[in-house]
Amino acid sequence: MARLLPAATCGTMLAALWIAFMVVPTEREMGIVQRIFYFHVSAFWAAYLGFFIVAGASARYLWTGSRAADRLAEAAAEIGILFCTVGLIMGSLWAKPIWGVWFTWDPRLTMTVILWSIYTSYIMLRAFGGEDDAVRRWAAVLGLIGVLDIPIIMVSVRLLRGIHPAVITQKEGGSGLVDPWMRIGLAVSSVAILLLAAWLIRLRAQSARLTEEVSVLRQEALARGGAA
């Protein structure tokens, strides 16, 4: 059962890569670069998934004190920011040949950068909050507040640059998913990336659990023997 996730991830990822690079026709306007779209969009799905896992696990930790929930939140935050960063970089790589700029403050991009910042502050808090066990609770509160902020951020970024040309609609290929293989490609790569994210989160959470177990064993050895 434990092997199912890695196997499924590898399988779908291979399928996604094959479809995205071999099967799908080259997009008329943007050319080969457009193929990045399949993984770029999926990466953000993973980033948002991570965020919601952080929120859910944080709520569970506050409610029940479950350390497993706390470890899951920590793992999901790290993997989430990983995918968010990768997604932003892929977006830059795509943007430069198409728009001529590496970056722009349009609504969706602004929102993603804010999300990335909130993730970062969560990780900073865990890293530099100190040794106190209370850090877990504070991080959980931050996780919940972050997720509550998302809808407000979505609404507020629409206020920005009302006059600026909406370059963004093209980005999702909203007008451009003409070939059915494009839709299939998006679906498969989304599943592949989400499975990859889930697998990485699981690995990270397990790693956290093992670290804690080692720490407990060390404490017990010190208490027993005095010399360790």
| Residues at the site binding other proteins, with contacts judged by CB under 8 A | 62, 114, 117-118, 120-121, 124-125, 128-135, 137-138, 140-142, 144-146, 148-149, 152-153, 155-157, 159-160, 215-216, 219, 223
Nearer to other proteins, 93 or 113 (CB): 113
- Partnered with residue 27 across adjacent β-strands are 31
Nearer to other proteins, 157 or 196 (CB): 157
Task: Output the smallest distance, CB 199 to other proteins, in A.
Answer: 28
Q: Report the Cα–Cα distance between both ends of the chain, in Å, rounded.
A: 38
- Partnered with residue 153 across adjacent β-strands are none
Nearer to other proteins, 94 or 119 (CB): 119
Nearer to other proteins, 7 or 217 (CB): 217
Report d(CA 115, CA 90) in Å as an integer: 16
Task: Output the smallest distance, CB 107 to other proteins, in A.
Answer: 10
Task: Output the smallest distance, CB 159 to other proteins, in A.
Answer: 5
Query: What is the amino acid identity at position 166?
Result: A
Instruction: From residue 10, give the alpha-carbon distance in Å to each of 7, 40, 181.
Output: 5, 18, 20
Nearer to other proteins, 93 or 125 (CB): 125
- Partnered with residue 31 across adjacent β-strands are 27
Query: What is the amino acid identity at position 11?
Result: G
Kindly state the tokens that stand for 24.
Answer: 């799908």
Task: Output the smallest distance, CB 110 to other proteins, in A.
Answer: 8
Instruction: From residue 225, give the alpha-carbon distance in Å to each of 3, 213, 221, 228.
Output: 39, 18, 6, 7
Report d(CA 155, CA 73) in Å as an integer: 26
Task: Output the smallest distance, CB 31 to other proteins, in A.
Answer: 35
Cα 63 from chain centroid?
24
Nearer to other proteins, 50 or 173 (CB): 50
Task: Output the smallest distance, CB 163 to other proteins, in A.
Answer: 12
